[in-house]
């Protein structure tokens, strides 16, 4: 009996070590991962971030990287025991961090809402917030299902989701942003494309019922004005042009995904 208890105790110690409750000093090199740490209540462990990690702007967390460039010396000086990165992070920087004995956890860019949830749960396990992560995911799934129930009787509208203006860029299949369209019951006008760069004539020919513009600040207002001149498009005729902030829609976390879906549902219900 005591032997079984001792083995169980050792097992719990191993799980404790693997899944990160020992991590005390974390650097995040992706805005979405930084935001996720705040949602999980693990921001007290954050000691470094990028200049684009807006979730940490008011907490005086040191900046150790821009969007693409890491200051290795500054990062190492903060003595992190864990660095969170996306797959786009320079492989040499990752290798350098590991040579200094720092744990680096690499996350791929999620291609669906399911992958967002899976990665969020994994992050929760890594930083010792597994139960919080699972609860947030469960609540997010329930909210998505509620939105789907509200739209169950609606016809499948054609949707153009724009994520850039110069060049003009559209949401394509096999991306988490495509799930905004499919989960809300819409049809992505770009469903047959493999690359996102398009011309305005493509949108005119597809004649979407809704246009969602996801760009930063004034660019969204400018794009709305441009699209309003294309009066043959159904979305323009019916005044169904809407802007959504990139900090919300382009941030792959369960909570921001749901908030984007709620906003789209609100617009489509007007």
Can you tell me the mean pLDDT for 132-144?
Answer: 98
Task: Classify residue 31: in a domain, yes or no.
Answer: yes
**Which of 137, 172, 187 is where one domain is finished?**
137
> What is the domain count for the chain?
2
CA distance 100 to 98: 5
Please indicate, yes or no, whether residues 99 and 46 belong to a single structural domain of this protein. yes
Please indicate, yes or no, whether residues 129 and 210 belong to a single structural domain of this protein. no
Task: Classify residue 143: in a domain, yes or no.
Answer: no
Task: Classify residue 147: in a domain, yes or no.
Answer: no
**Which of 105, 137, 169 is where one domain is finished?**
137
Please indicate, yes or no, whether residues 37 and 128 belong to a single structural domain of this protein. yes
DSSP state, 184? T
Task: For residue 32, give the nearest of 62, 82, 78, 67 by alpha carbon.
Answer: 67
- Structural domain including 161 reads 152-268
Question: Is the distance from CB of 76 to CB of 70 less than 8 angstroms?
Answer: no
For residue 245, what are its two tokens? 């902030």
Can you tell me the mean pLDDT for 4-30?
Answer: 63
Q: Which residue has the tokens 């032997």?
A: 3
Please indicate, yes or no, whether residues 110 and 163 belong to a single structural domain of this protein. no
Please indicate, yes or no, whether residues 108 and 159 belong to a single structural domain of this protein. no
Please indicate, yes or no, whether residues 115 and 158 belong to a single structural domain of this protein. no
Task: Classify residue 142: in a domain, yes or no.
Answer: no
Please indicate, yes or no, whether residues 114 and 160 belong to a single structural domain of this protein. no
Please indicate, yes or no, whether residues 106 and 175 belong to a single structural domain of this protein. no
In the chain, % helix, strand, coil (3-state, to 5) comes to: 50, 15, 35
Please indicate, yes or no, whether residues 102 and 170 belong to a single structural domain of this protein. no
Task: Classify residue 264: in a domain, yes or no.
Answer: yes
Task: Classify residue 97: in a domain, yes or no.
Answer: yes
DSSP string, 189-209: TTTT-SS-B--HHHHHHH--S
Can you tell me the mean pLDDT for 240-259?
Answer: 95
Q: Of the spans 7-11, 131-135, 211-215, which averages the highest pLDDT?
A: 131-135
To the nearest whole number, what is the mean pLDDT of the chain?
90
Task: Classify residue 177: in a domain, yes or no.
Answer: yes
Give the CATH number for residue 92.
3.40.50.1980
Please indicate, yes or no, whether residues 106 and 171 belong to a single structural domain of this protein. no
pTM of the model: 0.89
Task: Classify residue 145: in a domain, yes or no.
Answer: no
Given a cut of 60, whether residue 12 has pLDDT beyond it is no
Please indicate, yes or no, whether residues 78 and 128 belong to a single structural domain of this protein. yes
Q: Which of the residue ranges 2-6, 115-119, 171-175, 189-193 would you say has the lowest mean pLDDT?
A: 2-6
Please indicate, yes or no, whether residues 170 and 92 belong to a single structural domain of this protein. no
CA distance 130 to 194: 35
């Amino acid at each position: 009996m005591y032997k079984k208890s001792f083995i169980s105790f050792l097992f719990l110690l191993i799980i404790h070590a693997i899944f990160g409750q020992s991590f005390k000093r974390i650097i995040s090199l992706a805005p979405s991962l930084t935001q996720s740490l705040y949602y999980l209540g693990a921001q007290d462990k954050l000691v470094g971030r990028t200049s684009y990690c807006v979730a940490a702007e008011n907490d005086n967390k040191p900046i150790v990287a821009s969007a693409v460039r890491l200051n290795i010396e500054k990062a190492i000086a903060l003595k992190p025991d864990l660095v969170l990165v996306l797959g786009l992070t320079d492989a040499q920087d990752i290798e350098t961090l590991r040579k200094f004995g720092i744990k680096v956890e690499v996350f791929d860019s999620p291609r669906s809402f399911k992958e967002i949830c899976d990665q969020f749960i994994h992050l929760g396990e890594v930083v010792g917030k597994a139960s919080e992560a699972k609860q947030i995911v469960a609540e997010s799934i329930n909210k998505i299902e509620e939105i789907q129930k509200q739209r169950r009787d609606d016809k499948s509208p054609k949707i153009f989701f724009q994520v850039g203006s110069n060049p003009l860029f559209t949401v394509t299949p096999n991306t988490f942003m495509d799930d905004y369209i499919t989960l809300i019951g819409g049809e992505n006008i770009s469903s047959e494309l493999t690359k996102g760069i398009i011309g305005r004539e493509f949108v005119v020919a597809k004649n979407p019922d809704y246009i969602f513009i996801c760009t930063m600040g004034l660019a969204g207002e400018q794009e709305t004005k441009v699209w309003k001149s294309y009066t043959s498009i159904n979305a323009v005729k019916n005044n169904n042009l809407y802007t959504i902030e990139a900090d919300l829609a382009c941030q792959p976390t369960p909570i921001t995904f749901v908030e984007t879906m709620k906003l789209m549902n609100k617009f489509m219900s007007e």
